[in-house]
Structure 1
Amino acid sequence: MIVLDYLTMNIDRHMKNFGVIRNVETLVWEKVTPLFDTGQSMNCSEITKNMNFYDGKGKLFYNTEKKFFTYLSIIDNFERFDLSKLDGLDKEYQTVLKKYQQFTDMSDDRIEKLVDGIRIRMKEFNIYKEKQISNGKSIVAGKD
């Protein structure tokens, strides 16, 4: 969830928009539900010329002004994230945005900026990840 919110710059992650599946008999937490309520992502409320995918703040539970670059410090194990599995995501994102362009009335410029934005976020994640691993912090980020 933290990685997805970082990548998409989701500004609205709070206690009411994620869920956990519990065993009805034991009430033991079984797993986290698939993510939902990511509609406040990718600079959605910015006009195209003001979209910034390098810097920003979001709501992360109780912290309503958390800078996105600090999200990654929460992650304990970077080795478990293989963003190569997202290869081609930018092209697929572009395809979907173009497919629904007539319904969203989204300009070609905005689509291009959004696609560039997801590329930037994935690149920034990889840079941070590699830095953590090369500093010997791949198992627990932020600890020696």
Structure 2
Amino acid sequence: MWTKPPPEVSCVSSSVESFYRGAVAGGVFGLVFGPETGMGLMAHLMAPFRPALLAGSWCLLTSFSSCALSRDGLPFPWNGAVSGLFSGAVISLVSRWPRESTAWTMAGSSILSVLSHYATEGQNVKATRIFTPKSIDDSERAQELGQ
């Protein structure tokens, strides 16, 4: 879900892409887990929009703050944790949730952000391992690939 944009790409541009990805995922969630069968047609048609907006907003805020913190030099687990705290706080303040809900939202958002960043970092490490020569066999393979 998270990508590291090159330095010439702004954090906002990358975060908008994350918003759309999150909105699609939230919309699918709203379709699959829509309202109960006793609800009217409008409730079924409007069901995907709230989860889509929530997931998209969370992805936008988390991606933006993570990008800004990473460019400022904050390393992996901390940028994800702070980004999750930030997005959880903004969403719960805008939604005007009670203080207890805000604390749980921030904690859950931070944990989810760290886990998703961990998955992304794991993918980046695997990609680096594939193209980084570590032994003689790997360096020969890298020479064959022209690296």
TM over 0.5: no
Is the strand fraction higher in 1 or 2?
A: 1
**Superposition TM-score, scaled by structure 1 size:** 0.35
